[in-house]
């Protein structure tokens, strides 16, 4: 039997399994990577949430305020992920409509939420400028970093000109180094399936990926950024996978407090 990869959506998150065994996701493993920028972002996001919801928070119990503030950065990160997915879906629908079908185009543009309008315009510009020819989208991949299994969801594999690219779509304000680690893990995966499909997963190598990149989508434009997924980056991800899988014993490294010896009576 071939490898069976399964992604299960659970509320705002998801879990992975390979041959029915739970497997950590790439973004979970990347939490082992320290990031001063991410820490600063979380602090700013929490402060901004407090200022924007000042009156609302003032009417809550202290424990309820704390719960909302503590979850503000995670909520923003989840929102950013949903934004990227929606931008991708809407832009793909728009470029698929023939230019002469003006009414359908007008109707679809009218359905784009106002906060996402600029992002969708930017991704449509990327599609028109580079004309990617998709090979696969929403790939659920599985691989091994050393002896440790991992899974993840890659956005797009497509022809750009004469090359096959693995592309990640980002709508965050900045593209961080962790994006290269994330896409590197996807590119080094062994097998893939398409989200929602069942059956044995074919080898990822069959897709013929030659380069990796990130499409940074903003309200004021986009950038196609090449990503280094070479040996040094892959070694760094393998190290993070080791840290993730060996984190459990850390709590046992500090023993119980030693009580002073008592003199015999």
- Number of domains present in the structure of the chain: 1
260 in a domain, yes or no? no
pLDDT score at 240: 94
69 in a domain, yes or no? yes
Rounded average pLDDT over 100-105 = 79
Name residue, tokens 């000042």. 54
261 in a domain, yes or no? no
Condensed to tens digits (0 to 9), the pLDDT of residues 17-46 reads 999 999 999 999 998 886 655 555 556 666
pLDDT at position 263 over 70 = no
97 in a domain, yes or no? yes
255 in a domain, yes or no? no
pLDDT tier at 202 (50, 70, 90 boundaries)? very high
pLDDT at position 1 over 60 = no
Higher pLDDT, residue 50 or 103: 103
265 in a domain, yes or no? no
Question: Which of 81, 95, 170 shows the shortest CA–CA distance to 125?
Answer: 95
Those residues with Cβ within 8 angstroms of residue 153's Cβ, 6 or more apart along the chain or in another chain:
7, 14, 25, 138, 139, 140, 141, 195
253 in a domain, yes or no? no
CA distances in angstroms from 45 to 52, 82, 118, 146, 173, listed in the order given: 10, 17, 22, 36, 12
Rounded average pLDDT over 161-177 = 91
pLDDT at position 242 over 50 = yes
254 in a domain, yes or no? no
- Residue 107 domain boundaries: 5-245
What's the mean pLDDT when you consider all of the chain?
Answer: 83
DSSP states along 71-137? THHHHHHHHHHHHHHHHHHHHHHHHHS-TT-HHHHHHHHHHS-GGGHHHHHHHHHHHHHH--EEEEE
């Amino acid at each position: 039997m071939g490898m069976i990869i399964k992604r299960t959506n659970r509320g705002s998150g998801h879990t992975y399994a390979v041959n029915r065994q739970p497997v950590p996701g790439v973004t979970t493993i990347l939490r082992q990577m320290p990031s001063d920028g991410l820490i600063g972002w979380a602090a700013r996001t929490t402060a901004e949430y407090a200022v924007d919801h000042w009156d609302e928070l003032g009417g809550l119990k202290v424990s309820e305020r704390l719960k909302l503030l503590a979850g503000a950065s995670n909520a923003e990160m989840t929102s950013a992920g949903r934004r990227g997915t929606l931008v991708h879906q809407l832009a793909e629908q728009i470029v698929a409509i023939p230019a002469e079908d003006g009414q359908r185009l007008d109707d679809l543009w009218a359905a784009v939420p106002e906060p996402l309008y600029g992002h969708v315009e930017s991704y449509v510009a990327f599609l028109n400028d580079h004309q990617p020819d998709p090979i696969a989208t929403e790939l659920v991949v599985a691989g091994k970093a050393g002896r440790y299994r991992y899974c993840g969801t890659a956005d797009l594999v497509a022809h750009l000109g004469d090359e096959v690219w693995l592309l990640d779509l980002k709508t965050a304000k900045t593209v961080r180094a962790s994006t290269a680690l994330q896409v590197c893990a996807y590119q080094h995966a062994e097998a893939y399936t398409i989200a929602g499909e069942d059956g044995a997963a074919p080898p990822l190598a069959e897709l013929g990926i030659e380069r990796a990149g990130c499409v940074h989508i903003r309200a004021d434009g986009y950038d196609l950024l090449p990503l280094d997924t070479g040996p040094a980056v892959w070694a760094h991800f393998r190290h993070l996978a080791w840290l993730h899988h060996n984190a459990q014993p850390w709590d046992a490294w500090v023993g119980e407090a030693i009580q002073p010896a008592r003199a015999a009576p």
